[in-house]
């Protein structure tokens, strides 16, 4: 299976979109735009690293805004509240606090795999690349990357018209205590974790590597490039225009963000 | 009324609802689960709208299981997990 997966990774003509700081709603809209375009064949399989221009809470597709967010804390600290197209849990992101990437690939890439198995497959290269930096990380079902020093990150997927979107966010550093204030974590959610604290054990990559955020990102890019091949690419004017339309019609609207209030 | 169930090694399922006479109303199903395709949320929620109140878990589980669209996939939760949250939401 491992050989077959390596073959599938190498069989794609991967394109790289390097990180550029963008508003949270723009990042979410780009995931929709690029997934659909990879599905239709207009764009080749792509690895995109995100840049963050603002702090934000990103809700999962099926989460209740009220249940997950302290709205008064978000308003007081000028935190954007947005909703992504993939399921999973809410995350709080500060511009230099996280490393996020999206992978867009035609769905024959995951042919014959269960959804659960595909989560592991999409992040396997990152776990290897982190190992090269001395981080002992592993995949923890269903959608987490964890390590000796605590949880590093989580992944989520969406599927659109013949393509899979897999995006992963990893903690780089925690500079404020806003996370525990803006996100609500109920007792029930922690009921099978054996802990009662809202502050889950997290192992940010800065603590584990002592590297700058960009150095880690470019190490991940270098690992991917030498292993699977990766051509430098950029977003087209047409893609950026469509992103902007979707920001205005969907991702910055209350109707979308609060469709599950 | 509000009920939550965290699936062991899985995801959180949250159900909010009202009871109108002897029927469930204004049912809302949320959580940090994964559901493909995303549009399957609506039939799962609708299966509970107007369902009899005060029933056992198995009754709700069957209603939900029958409403799962062909080809839909629930990841990190199940009809049974939703049913647990529905029963918990009705606890006074």
User: What residue segments make up the domains of chain A, in order of their start?
Assistant: 2-252
What pLDDT is attached to residue A192?
A: 63
CATH of A2-252, one of 2.60.120.10, 1.10.3720.10, 3.30.930.10, 3.40.630.30: 3.30.930.10
> Residue A151 pLDDT more than 60?
yes
What pLDDT is attached to residue A193?
A: 57
Question: Domain containing B69 — which CATH number?
Answer: 3.30.390.50
What pLDDT is attached to residue A243?
A: 98
What band does A115 get if pLDDT is binned at 50, 70 and 90? Answer: confident
Please, which residues have CB within 8 angstroms of residue A25's CB and are 6 or more apart in sequence?
A80, A82, A247, A251, A252
> Residue A244 pLDDT more than 90?
yes
Residue of B4, B29, B36 with shortest CB distance to A188? B4
Which of chain A's residues have a Cβ under 8 Å away from the Cβ of B31?
62-63
Residue of B9, B10, B32 with shortest CB distance to A89? B32
Query: How far is CA A218 from its chain centroid?
Result: 17
Q: Using CA atoms, how far apart are residues A85 and B92, in angstroms rounded to an integer?
A: 35
Report the percent of chain A where pLDDT is more than 90. Answer: 86
Cα-based distances in Å from A175 to A93, A94, A114, A151: 11, 8, 37, 17
Task: Select from A83, A27, A95, A75 the least CA-distant residue to A57.
Answer: A83
- A87–B14 CB contact, under 8 Å: no
What predicted TM-score, i.e. pTM, was given to this entire model? 0.94
What pLDDT is attached to residue A198?
A: 41
pLDDT tens per residue, range B39-59: 999 999 999 999 999 999 999
Q: Using CA atoms, how far apart are residues A95 and A163, in angstroms rounded to an integer?
A: 28
Q: What is the mean pLDDT of chain B?
A: 96
> Residue A27 pLDDT more than 80?
yes
Q: Which of A36-50, A121-135, A189-203 has the lowest mean pLDDT?
A: A189-203
What pLDDT is attached to residue B36?
A: 94
Instruction: Identify the closest residue of chain A to B33 by CA–CA distance.
Output: A88
Asked if B34 and B11 touch (Cβ cutoff 8 Å), the reply is: yes
What pLDDT is attached to residue A1?
A: 74
Q: Is the dihedral of CA A182, A187, A189, A194 positive or negative?
A: positive
| Prediction ipTM score | 0.96
Q: Which of A16-25, A201-210, A226-235 has the lowest mean pLDDT?
A: A201-210
Mean pLDDT of all residues in A209-225: 97
Mean pLDDT of all residues in A175-180: 82
Best residue of B10, B32, B35 to probe chain A, by most A CBs closer than 10 Å: B32
- B34–A186 CB contact, under 8 Å: no
What pLDDT is attached to residue A200?
A: 62
Q: 3-state class of B52 per DSSP?
A: strand
What pLDDT is attached to residue A71?
A: 93
Q: Which of A40-54, A78-92, A188-202 has the lowest mean pLDDT?
A: A188-202
> Residue B29 pLDDT more than 70?
yes
pLDDT tens per residue, range A128-148: 999 999 999 999 999 999 999
Q: What is the mean pLDDT of chain A?
A: 93
What band does A107 get if pLDDT is binned at 50, 70 and 90? Answer: very high
> Residue A175 pLDDT more than 80?
no
Which of chain A's residues have a Cβ under 8 Å away from the Cβ of B84?
none
Pairing assessment for the beta strands A98-106 and A163-171 based on DSSP bridges:
antiparallel
Mean pLDDT of all residues in A106-135: 95
Q: Using CA atoms, how far apart are residues A255 and A249, in angstroms rounded to an integer?
A: 10
Put simply, the chain B residues between 29 and 88 with a CB less than 8 A from any chain A CB are 29-38, 41, 73, 75-76
């Amino acid at each position: 299976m491992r050989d077959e997966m390596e073959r599938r990774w190498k069989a794609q003509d991967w394109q790289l979109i390097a990180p550029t700081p963008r508003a949270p709603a723009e990042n979410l809209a780009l995931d929709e735009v690029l997934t659909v375009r990879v599905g239709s064949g207009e764009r080749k399989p792509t690895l995109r690293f995100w840049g963050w221009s603002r702090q934000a809470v990103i809700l999962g597709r099926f989460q209740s805004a009220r249940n997950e967010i302290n709205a008064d804390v978000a308003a007081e600290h000028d935190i954007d509240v947005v909703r992504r197209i993939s399921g999973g849990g809410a995350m709080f992101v500060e511009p230099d606090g996280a490393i996020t990437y999206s992978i867009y690939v035609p769905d024959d890439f995951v042919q014959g795999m269960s959804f659960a198995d595909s989560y592991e497959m999409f992040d396997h290269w990152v776990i290897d690349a982190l190992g090269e930096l001395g981080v002992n990380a592993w995949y923890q079902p269903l959608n987490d990357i964890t390590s000796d020093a605590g949880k590093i990150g989580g992944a989520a997927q969406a599927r659109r018209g013949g393509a899979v979107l897999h995006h992963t966010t990893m903690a780089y550093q925690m500079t404020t205590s806003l996370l525990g204030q803006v996100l609500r974590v109920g007792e029930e959610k922690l009921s099978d974790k054996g802990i009662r604290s809202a502050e889950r054990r997290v192992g940010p990559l800065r603590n584990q590597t002592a590297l700058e955020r960009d150095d880690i990102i470019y190490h991940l890019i270098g690992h991917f490039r030498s292993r699977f091949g990766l051509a430098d690419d950029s977003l087209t004017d047409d893609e950026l225009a469509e992103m902007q339309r979707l920001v205005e019609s969907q991702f910055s609207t209350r109707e979308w963000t609060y469709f599950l209030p | 009324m509000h009920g939550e169930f965290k699936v062991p090694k899985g995801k959180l399922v949250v159900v909010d609802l009202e009871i109108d006479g002897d029927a469930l109303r204004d049912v809302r199903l949320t959580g940090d689960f994964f559901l493909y395709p995303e549009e399957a949320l609506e039939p799962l929620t609708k299966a509970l709208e107007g369902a009899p109140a005060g029933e056992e878990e198995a009754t709700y589980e069957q209603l939900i299981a029958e409403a799962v669209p062909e080809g839909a996939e629930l990841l990190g939760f199940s009809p049974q997990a939703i049913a647990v949250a529905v029963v918990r939401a009705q606890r006074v």
